[in-house]
């Protein structure tokens, strides 16, 4: 349905001095049309931005990112990170395997992270289990498991490298500084030399982090 177009049909001749009733009728038509226009604008605001958005009559954008240009943030880490034994969820690297964002409005955000895990055995019959998840400190993604089992025919220095991609949808993220992190949990470790999130010193790949308004 299109917005109403203002239309006034005169009920008087040119040069006529209007009565109060005639003036009121014209004014009522204009006021009703203007109120419909305001209601339609408020409806667009609610649909587009939600109830927290305010109109302040200055014709200046309240937000840096338009609806088309979704708010997002990217970060990366190109250094190797050794993962020690951890029987509780632990930050992979609180500084380098995390990403910060401050939402301009309450809403849902998608957090993605990709990296590679390297496990090196120290002897035959090596076994390692390590789990990863994404978190904002309150909610977290479904954990994924990376496991290496070499068996009796395994050798020292046997190496397994696995690429991992995680995602986590954050609902109703508050309008405040947020730090989103990659965490791990490692409690099975038999004949294992190292477990690492690796980048091999490369500048073109490593741990990639990305968060976007959805």
Distance separating alpha carbons of residues 79 and 99, to the nearest angstrom = 16
**pLDDT at 109 (0 to 100):** 95
- DSSP character string of 178-213: EEEEEEEEEEEEESEEEEEEE-TT-SS-SEEEEEEE
Of 109, 116, 112, 140, the residue nearest 130 (C-alpha): 116
pLDDT at 9: 81
178's tokens: 């947020």
pLDDT tens profile 151-199: 888 888 899 999 999 999 999 999 899 999 999 999 888 999 999 998 7
Name 74's bridge partners.
210
Using DSSP, state whether 166 is helix, strand or coil.
Answer: strand
Domain extent listing, the chain: 1-62, 72-213
In CATH, the architecture of 72-213 is Sandwich (2.60)
Spatial distance between the Cα atoms of 82 and 108, rounded to a whole number of angstroms = 32
Phi-psi domain of 201 (left: phi exceeds 0; alpha: psi -120 through 50; beta: other): left
Low-confidence residues of the chain: pLDDT under 70: 1, 68, 200-205
In this prediction, residue 73 carries a pLDDT of 92
Check residue 23 and give its pLDDT: 86
pLDDT score recorded for residue 205: 61
Tens digits of residue pLDDT in 164-175: 999 999 999 998
Give the closest residue to 80 by CA, choosing from 112, 114, 113, 117: 117
pLDDT value of residue 93 = 92
For position 204, what pLDDT does the model report?
52
């Amino acid at each position: 349905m299109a917005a109403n177009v203002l239309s006034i049909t005169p009920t008087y001749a040119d040069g006529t001095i209007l009565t109060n009733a005639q003036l009121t009728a014209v004014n009522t038509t204009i006021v009703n049309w203007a109120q419909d226009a305001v209601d339609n604008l408020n409806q667009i605001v609610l649909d587009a931005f939600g109830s927290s958005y305010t109109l302040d009559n200055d014709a200046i954008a309240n937000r840096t990112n338009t609806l088309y240009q979704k708010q997002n943030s990217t970060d990366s880490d190109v250094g190797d990170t050794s993962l020690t034994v951890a029987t509780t969820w632990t930050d992979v690297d609180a500084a380098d395997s995390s990403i910060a964002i401050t939402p301009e409005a309450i809403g849902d955000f998608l957090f993605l992270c990709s990296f590679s895990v390297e496990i090196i055995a120290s002897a035959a019959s090596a076994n390692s289990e390590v789990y990863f998840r994404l978190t904002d400190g309150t909610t977290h993604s479904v954990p994924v498991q990376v496991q290496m089992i070499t068996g009796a025919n395994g050798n020292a220095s046997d190496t397994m490298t696995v690429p991992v991609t995680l995602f986590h949808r954050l609902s109703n993220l508050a309008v405040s500084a947020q730090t989103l992190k990659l965490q791990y949990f490692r409690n099975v470790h038999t004949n294992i030399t190292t477990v690492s999130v690796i980048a091999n010193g490369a500048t073109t790949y490593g741990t990639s982090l990305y968060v976007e308004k959805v």
